[in-house]
Amino acid sequence: MNNIESNVSSTSFASLRVSPERKKELLKFCSNLSINFKNLNLLDLAFHHRSFSNESTEYLHYNNERLEFLGDSVLGLVTADFLYNDMEKNTEGDLSKIKANVVSEKSLAPIAINKMHIDKYLVLGKGEEYTGGRHKAAILADAVEAVIGALYLDSGFDSAKKLVLELIVPEIRKVQQDRGNRDHKTLLQEFYQKKNKDWPVYELVKKTGPDHDRTFWVTVHLGSESFGPESGKSKKSAEQNAARKACIALGVEKD
């Protein structure tokens, strides 16, 4: 559905106006996040996926990709600045890992749904709508970045920074408190290789259950020590669970 009222050509969007109904929706979005937009056209653009513009000759270039590009940089800078000041005793490697975690599609998509409710405001092409684009992680994460970019253009860096911190700091705290999606295999490998030249060895001990509902059991071997077997619905998840058990036993992580 086209939420834009305009008679301008496809190459100029300076005079685009959102419909009264769309304006109410956008104001509701702003209220939910306690943000303000002087130019609602910018916010509206942040929700327009390229599938919409690809299906419209009139709005051929009207999509959020440029705002996403800008917002990605603002998001990265604000997150890096916060981590630099918040974790003064940590190495560059530690900061990079946390930053990569919290600005990833995997973290931004849930933020889009649970905190920003972006799925309700997206403007998609018919094909993308039909295939469930409103709930695709990549589209949602891109829209988060586009909103940040739009707010930066509309209200300046401080406003954009405030929004980013409200969205991202809780995710940073989850990782810091070991409640994020930790890569236990990487943690175990880094710990083990500080004192040994060998790598952790993962052994698939057994598989149980029918073909459509398998459970995998994996043990991890660290030289003469073994941890597991631990189970998972895939071999990869079973390996992660075995690595987590080893990390806890060795004091790398807390239970």
Q: List the strands of the sheet with 215-222, edge to edge.
A: 201-208, 215-222, 225-232
Q: Judge residue 114's burial from the number of C-beta atoms within 10 Å of its C-beta, 0-12 exposed, 13-18 middle, 19 or more buried.
A: exposed
| Catalytic residue selected from 44, 68, 142, 145 | 145
Give catalytic status of residue 145 as yes or no. Answer: yes
Q: What is the dihedral of CA 156, 159, 155, 12, to 10 degrees?
A: 90
3-state secondary structure of 62: coil
Q: Nearest 5°: CA angle at 225, between 222 and 230?
A: 80
| Catalytic residue selected from 72, 154, 171, 230 | 72
Give catalytic status of residue 88 as yes or no. Answer: no
Contact 29/43 with Cβ under 8 angstroms?
yes
Q: Which residues are catalytic?
A: 72, 145
